[in-house]
């Protein structure tokens, strides 16, 4: 039987520099027929990066836009780590939108993704965070960033059984507070400074034994850095020892730091070895977080099904 070719791209999200930010593989399926979850999981394991995203057009009557919107810009989207499917992924969504916009598959500046977390909106924004004086790079390519409209994730108190025991990872760093996300129960560990966050040398065996899914370390950014806070996210239980730049974690970190800093607009730096920048806006009334970042394609190819 002849094999079917599936287009893919590897895209670095939350950066404009190749091999920085967070890589995601984006696989474009003409439709979801002929592939199943096991195949998707095997592909994600083969890529062996933090997330692999799978796109398929959503044009059935169930998915059509009752408001008469552009059904050609509506897609099913799923995300897989090397070991499991996840309900929400920021950088995989940035990468998926970037793939659709740069490949010519979508002409609209607004894309709707049907996901396990509901319908998520991605918008093309010319320039970077509305601050660029030119919409074009030196090579003549159009510059744009992508803004995501994501659900806010509440942060709740930990109970007495959820104790952080990572002495080698902390290496003397001072812990200000420990809370957790209300969804995946990721621990949010605030350290006394962003520098301490950046200087962490993780012991993954320690981190894997922690309660919840993963551990988010965060701290106030150094004065004059241009950022509000630093973050690093470790999730060895999902086969991702360190997530280089995690958009979904900032669905919880945005309300956390918004309350502490008394501001709704924030700029975050994920201080992993690859590094990445996230522009954040808390929409408190609607319980949403707008996450904006850039992306760059570093590889394209085909998979055989």
pLDDT score, position 159: 77
Q: Does residue 1 have a pLDDT over 60?
A: no
pLDDT score, position 30: 80
pLDDT score, position 87: 95
In 3D, which of 155, 151, 237, 152 has the Cα closest to residue 188?
A: 155
Q: What whole-number distance in Å separates Cα of residue 130 and Cα of residue 119? A: 25
- Per-residue pLDDT of 150-176, as tens digits, reads 999 999 998 766 678 899 999 999 999
Q: What whole-number distance in Å separates Cα of residue 245 and Cα of residue 189? A: 17
- Give me the chain's average pLDDT, please: 90
DSSP the chain: -PPPEEEEEEEEES-SSTT-SEEEEEEEESSSTT--HHHHHHHHHHH-SSEEEEEEE--STTTS-TT---GGGEEEEEEE-SS-EES--HHHHHHHHHHHHHHTS--SSEEEEEETTEEEEEEEEESSTT--S-SB-TTSPBPEEEEEEEE---EEE--TT-----HHHHTTPPEEEEEEETTT--EEEEES-HHHHHT----HHHHHTSSSS-EEEEEEPPTTSS-SEEEEEEEGGGTEEEESS-TTTHHHHHHHHHHHHT-SEEEEEE-SSS-EEEEEEEETTTTEEEEEE-EEEEEEEEEE-
Token pair, residue 153, equals 């994730």
**Domains by residue range for the chain, with CATH:** 5-151+293-304 (3.10.310.10), 155-286 (3.10.310.10)
Name residues whose C-beta falls within 8 Å of residue 299's C-beta, 6 or more positions apart in sequence: 9, 10
Q: Which residues pair with 10 in a beta bridge?
A: 25, 299
Q: Does residue 61 have a pLDDT over 90?
A: no
Length of the chain: 305
- Per-residue pLDDT of 106-127, as tens digits, reads 999 999 999 999 999 999 998 6
Q: Which residues pair with 157 in a beta bridge?
A: 179
Q: Does residue 186 have a pLDDT over 70?
A: yes
Catalytic positions are: 51
- Residue 116 to residues 86, 217, 241: CA-CA distances in angstroms? 8, 26, 23
Q: Does residue 31 have a pLDDT over 80?
A: no
pLDDT score, position 160: 62
Q: Which residue has the higher pLDDT, 153 or 34?
A: 153
Q: What whole-number distance in Å separates Cα of residue 104 and Cα of residue 87? A: 27
Spacing of C-alpha 107 from chain mean position: 23
| Band (2; pLDDT cuts 50, 70, 90) | low
Q: What whole-number distance in Å separates Cα of residue 110 and Cα of residue 165? A: 44
pLDDT score, position 70: 61
């Amino acid at each position: 039987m002849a094999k079917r070719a599936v287009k893919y791209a590897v895209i670095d999200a939350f950066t404009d520099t190749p091999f920085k930010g967070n890589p995601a593989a984006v696989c474009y399926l003409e439709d979801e027929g002929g592939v199943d979850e096991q195949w998707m999981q095997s592909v994600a394991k083969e890529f062996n990066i933090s997330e692999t995203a799978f796109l398929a057009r959503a044009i059935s009557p169930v998915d059509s836009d009752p408001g008469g919107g552009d059904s050609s810009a509506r897609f099913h989207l799923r995300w897989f780590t090397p070991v499991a499917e996840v309900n929400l992924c920021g950088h995989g969504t940035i990468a998926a939108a970037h793939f659709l916009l740069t490949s010519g598959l979508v002409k609209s500046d607004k894309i709707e993704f049907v996901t396990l977390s509901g319908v998520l909106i991605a918008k093309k924004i010319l320039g970077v965070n509305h601050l660029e004086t030119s919409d074009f790079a030196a090579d003549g390519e159009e510059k744009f960033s992508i803004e995501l409209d994501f659900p806010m994730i509440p942060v709740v108190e930990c109970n007495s059984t959820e104790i952080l025991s990572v002495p080698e990872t902390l290496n003397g760093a001072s812990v200000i507070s420990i809370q957790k996300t209300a969804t995946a129960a990721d621990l949010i560990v605030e350290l006394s400074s962003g520098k301490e966050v950046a200087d962490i040398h993780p012991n993954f065996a320690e981190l894997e034994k922690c309660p919840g899914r993963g551990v988010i370390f965060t701290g106030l950014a150094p004065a004059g850095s241009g950022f509000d806070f630093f973050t690093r996210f470790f999730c060895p239980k999902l086969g991702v020892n360190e997530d280089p730049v995690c958009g979904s974690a900032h669905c919880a970190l945005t309300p956390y730091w918004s309350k502490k800093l008394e501001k709704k607009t924030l700029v975050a730096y994920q201080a992993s070895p690859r590094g990445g920048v996230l522009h954040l806006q808390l929409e408190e009334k609607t319980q949403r977080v707008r996450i904006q970042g850039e992306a760059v394609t570093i590889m394209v190819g085909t998979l055989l099904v």
